[in-house]
């Protein structure tokens, strides 16, 4: 494991390096506080730091304050201050500045080792906490079955994309895609196969869209796709590609070859859409989807080019 030693006194620095190397650490050296902050701010920086209190440029407590003021998305650095000071106010000041622990110079080997051990324990707790938080965030935003955005997340992505689109004067298109006759697929093959079909559909959608588009699970067998900077003309091309990504090659699931199709309802939103309730915009895509179903499935219908006029669409052209 890497450890940073920041110490302006050359002899102390080399002694500490020798000791820590014997302990098995990969030692990184800094000669003053400023250099130490630079090293600790780099990618893949040491997570453990032994910092001398009195140093030129930046002293130990100031270094702690700078490190703790940095963004929380960088990994936590466990900081031990080295002090030759004895008064308890100094120690309090160091800990309040953000140090995790302190050691009085000259350090006793056994004590140094024990304090470093504590540092390791805190860091591994911190790592587990970060990992748990990331897993929770992932689970809260992604669909458990397919791994794509869940309903709440895709809806919030629609909102932010509409805002961005309005700001940048770029159209945003939405596609509501529904697996045709999914109920009978489930009845014929069972729910386990049905689930695998949904996984494969999600995968094909993700492969088909661009990196900055978003694919989410809107409901059971319904998917909502958000296409940024996509006008009506390109929407039709994109929808057709998505439709064909499902219809043109049968799904291979276990030993089964299953042909399925999807129906798509699409709508393109201009600047004005940002002021409309999201429900209205989605209702428009839903109406278009309903029409695609009614016209025989395995096709796309688009609201904004007037194909779903029968149900009185909202005018949301740019």
Task: Give the residue numbers annotated as catalytic, written as ranges.
Answer: 221
The one among 15, 54, 103, 258 contacting Mg ion by CB under 5 A = 54
- Provide the minimum distance between the beta carbon of 87 and Mg ion in the complex, in angstroms, as a whole number: 17
Least gap, CB of 53 to Mg ion (angstroms): 7
| Least distance (Å) between residue 214 CB and Mg ion | 53
**Rule CB under 5 A: which of 130-149 touch Mg ion?**
none
DSSP 9-71: -HHHHHHHHHHHHHHT-EEEEESSHHHHHHHHHSTT--SEEEEESS-SSS-HHHHHHHHHHS-
The residue with its CB nearest to Mg ion is 54
E strands along 138-246, which residues? Answer: 172-179, 214-217, 222-227
Restricted to residues 269-298, the positions that interact with Mg ion (CB under 5 A) are none
Beta carbon nearer to Mg ion, 52 or 221? 52
Q: Tell me the three state secondary structure of residue 146.
A: coil
Write down the least CB distance from residue 7 to Mg ion, Å.
6
Q: How many residues sit close enough to Mg ion to count as binding (CB under 5 A)?
A: 3
Shortest approach of Mg ion to residue 5 CB, angstroms?
A: 12
CA dihedral of 89, 93, 96, 99, whole degrees rounded to 10: -110
Instruction: Decide whether 52 or 222 has the Cβ nearer to Mg ion.
Output: 52
- Of the pair 16, 123, the CB lying nearest Mg ion is at 16
Confirm or reject binding of residue 8 to Mg ion (CB under 5 A).
yes
226: β partners: 174, 214
CB 223 within 8 A of CB 208: no
Measure the CA–CA gap between 54 and 282, rounded to whole angstroms.
63
DSSP state of 177: E
Contact 51, 77 (CB under 8 A): no
Specify the stretch interacting with Mg ion by CB under 5 A; choose among 24-32, 51-59, 131-139, 244-252: 51-59
Of 6-14, 165-173, 202-210, 303-311, which part binds Mg ion (CB under 5 A)?
Answer: 6-14
Binding site for Mg ion (CB under 5 A): 8, 52, 54
């Amino acid at each position: 494991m890497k450890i940073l030693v920041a110490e302006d006194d050359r002899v102390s620095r080399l002694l500490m390096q020798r000791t820590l190397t014997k302990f098995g650490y990969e030692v990184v050296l800094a000669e003053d506080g400023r250099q130490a902050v630079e090293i600790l701010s780099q990618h893949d920086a040491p997570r453990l730091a032994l910092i001398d209190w009195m140093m030129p440029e930046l002293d130990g407590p100031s270094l702690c304050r700078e490190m703790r003021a940095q963004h929380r998305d960088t990994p936590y650095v466990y900081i031990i201050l080295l002090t030759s000071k004895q008064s308890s106010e100094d120690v309090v000041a160091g800990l309040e500045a953000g140090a995790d622990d302190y050691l009085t110079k000259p350090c006793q080997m056994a004590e140094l080792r024990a304090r470093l051990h504590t540092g390791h324990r805190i860091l591994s707790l911190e790592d587990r906490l970060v990992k748990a938080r990331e897993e929770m965030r992932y689970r809260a935003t992604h669909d458990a079955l397919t791994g794509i955005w869940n309903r709440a997340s895709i809806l919030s992505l629609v909102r932010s994309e509409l805002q961005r689109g309005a700001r940048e004067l770029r159209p945003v298109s939405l596609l509501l895609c529904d697996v045709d006759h999914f109920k009978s697929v489930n009845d014929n093959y069972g729910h386990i196969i049905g689930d695998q079909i949904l996984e494969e559909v999600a995968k094909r959608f993700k492969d088909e869209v661009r990196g900055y588009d978003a694919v989410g699970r809107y409901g059971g067998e319904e998917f909502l796709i958000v296409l940024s900077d996509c006008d009506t003309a390109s929407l039709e091309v994109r929808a057709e590609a998505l439709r064909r990504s499902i219809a043109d090659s049968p799904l291979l699931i276990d030993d089964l070859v299953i042909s399925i199709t999807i129906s798509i309802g699409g709508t393109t939103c201009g600047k004005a859409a940002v002021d409309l309730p999201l429900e209205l915009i989605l209702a428009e895509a839903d109406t278009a989807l309903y029409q695609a179903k009614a016209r025989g499935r395995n096709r796309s219908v688009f609201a904004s080019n007037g194909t779903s006029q029968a149900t009185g669409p909202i005018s949301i052209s740019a």
